[in-house]
Amino acid sequence: MFLILSAAYGALYGVAFVVLPGLASEAVPPEGRGAAINTCGLGADLAQLLGPWGLGLAGGTWGLGGALVAAGAVPLVGATVYLAQLRHARVSGR
């Protein structure tokens, strides 16, 4: 089961790593496309750098359950920030 989940994760990550910068570049004006693509890359690099470190600390401090809760909280925080930015953009007319 772990091998199947690992293969699925790798395949989906590979697709997302290609698709997300493309979607980001479509969402910004032409002069901002380089910055949008680089921001996606920076986010992925930071996640790969800080994720294992942070979850290792969480696991050492709170145990495996705490590390899994922390891992689940990260996308929730990201979604909250995204929705706040989306709301701000609608209010300001962008």
In the chain, where the domains are located: 2-92
- The conformation of residue 31, written as its DSSP 8-state character, comes to G
Place of tokens 């004006």: 29
At 2-35, the pLDDT tens digits run: 899 999 999 998 898 889 888 888 888 999 999 9
Question: Quick one: pLDDT at residue 60?
Answer: 95
Question: Quick one: pLDDT at residue 94?
Answer: 65
Say how far apart CA 33 and CA 71 lie, in whole Å: 30
Closest CA to 26 of 36, 15, 16, 17: 36
Q: Is the dihedral of CA 22, 23, 26, 30 positive or negative?
A: negative
Mean pLDDT of the chain: 90
Q: Phi and psi for 9 in degrees, rounded to 5?
A: -60, -45
Q: Percentage of the chain surpassing pLDDT 90?
A: 51
